[in-house]
Amino acid sequence: MRDRLSVIVFTVFVAVCLLGCGVIYVFSPDHDVSLSKNPDGSVTFEIDGILPESYAYMVLEDVHVYDSIYYYSDGNYPVMDDRSQYEVDLLFDTLDRMMDSRGYASFEKVDATELSNVMSDTSLAHSTVIIVPSGALPDTVQAGNTHSKLDTWLSAGGSMYWMGGNPCRYYSTHSGIMESDHGLFDDSLFNTKRSDKGATECSPIASEFGFAYSAIDDAISIDAPNSKVIGLYNDEFSSLSEITLSSGGTVYLFGGGPASISFEQTSAFADMLVCGVTGDTVVKEKVYGQKGYGDLRSTIHPIMSGDLLFLRVGSPNTDYGAVILL
């Protein structure tokens, strides 16, 4: 009887210890990741952690890494009817955690006044991207058919991610959503028929990042001038397209609002943001590995100057990583 009791006590003790490790690992991971460039052009990476984890690194060329990424959200201004302020803020909270875990510290939410201030400083436009999930810009940067502040900022080399529909077709005031005569692009280029035909083909860069985002309800045509497909697509529309403006700026168009992007797709989007993925980005190399118990230190062969190395560890639920631009 005494031996049996000892076995039970020992079993409970082991179970509690294992549960404790699991809780520490999942919710408060005791790990870190770092990248450092060596004199010979090689890169050393270190992954600190208690338990085994999978990892992957990619070498990319033709990227545009941003010094600052701003996410527009202002509860004092209404959003389009097909989305809610809760969805807008929920996406920010998710992205904010993911960007932080990837070592990107310059991801920030801005309200209508702060957005206007960002766009007023055109000297930083080329190194800045703005994410607009609300479906409408505030009247601090767009008044009726006039969106000169946005136009000037884009002309200076700014970039913008727009979620669903034609940018600037509608704008937001304290009293409601207003319609303008036109948006940045021709209305005829956008999917408004809500057909059952889905986006099933995957662009090369979406495949590399596991970006399975397929919403095309408000997507732009794959035949739009100066456009490149980044997401999934069919023979008409793409779930994420890059449009290079003749003025010099770049607009990235999602085919749906903030509620249409899943947790896993948001994780892949965060990877693409920190890497500065564009329509020209190419993954030159992708390597998978497995870390055992304890820390891992390894060196990657010399990387060409101008290329980017992205190291990602874990699953979408526990992932973290680091980026270094050579």
Does residue 175 register a pLDDT over 50? yes
pLDDT of residue 69: 97
Q: What is the per-residue pLDDT for 213?
A: 92
Tens digit of each residue's pLDDT (9 = 90 or more) over 183-234: 889 988 988 766 557 788 999 999 999 999 999 988 999 999 999 999 999 9
Q: Which pLDDT tens digit goes with each residue over 79-119? A: 998 899 999 999 999 999 999 988 888 999 999 999 999 99
Task: Please give the Cα distance from 165 to 160 (Å, whole number).
Answer: 13
For the domain made up of 65-275, the CATH class stated in words is alpha beta
3-state secondary structure the chain: CHHHHHHHHHHHHHHHHHHHHHHHHHHCCCCEEEEEECCCCCEEEEEECCCCEEEEEEEEECCCCCCEEEEECCCCCCCCCCCCHHHHHHHHHHHHHHHHHCCCCCEEEECHHHHHHHHHCHHHHHHEEEEECCCCEECCCCECCECHHHHHHHHCCCEEEEECCCCCCEEEECCEEEECCCCCCCHHHECCCCCCCCCCEECHHHHHHCCCCCCCCCCEECCCCCEEECCEECCCEECEEEEECCCCCEEEEECCCHHHCCHHHHHHHHHHHHHCCCCCCEEEEEEEEEECCCCEEEEECCCCCCCEEEEEECCCCCCEEEEEEC
Is the pLDDT at 35 greater than 50? The verdict is: yes
C-alpha dist (Å) from residue 130 to 123, 153, 207 = 15, 11, 24
290-308 per-position pLDDT tens digit: 989 989 999 998 888 889 9
Give the residue-averaged pLDDT of 52-77.
94
Q: By the 8 A CB rule, do 150 and 141 touch?
A: yes
Percent of the chain residues topping a pLDDT of 90: 61
Query: What confidence tens digit (pLDDT) does each residue in 258-282 have?
Result: 999 999 999 999 999 999 999 999 9
pLDDT at residue 302, rounded to an integer: 84
The pLDDT, as a whole number, for residue 285 is: 93
Portion of the chain with pLDDT greater than 70, in percent:
87
Q: CA Rg, the chain, in Å?
A: 22
- For residue 317, what pLDDT band results from cuts at 50, 70 and 90? low
Please return the burial class of 122, using the count of CB atoms within 10 Å of its CB with bins 0-12, 13-18 and 19+.
middle
Amino acid at 52: P
Residue 318 confidence (pLDDT) = 62
- Mean pLDDT (whole number) for 240-251: 92
pLDDT at 111: 97
**Mean predicted lDDT score pLDDT of the chain:** 86
Tokens representing 16?
């509690």
Every domain of the chain and the residues it spans? 29-60+282-325, 65-275
Model confidence, pTM:
0.86
Q: What is the pLDDT of residues 116-136, one digit of tens each?
A: 999 999 999 999 999 999 999
CATH of domain 29-60+282-325: 2.60.40.2150
Dihedral in degrees, nearest 10, Cα atoms 237, 239, 242, 247: 70
Return d(Cα 303, Cα 41) in angstroms, integer: 6
User: With 70 as the cut, is the pLDDT of residue 49 above it?
Assistant: yes
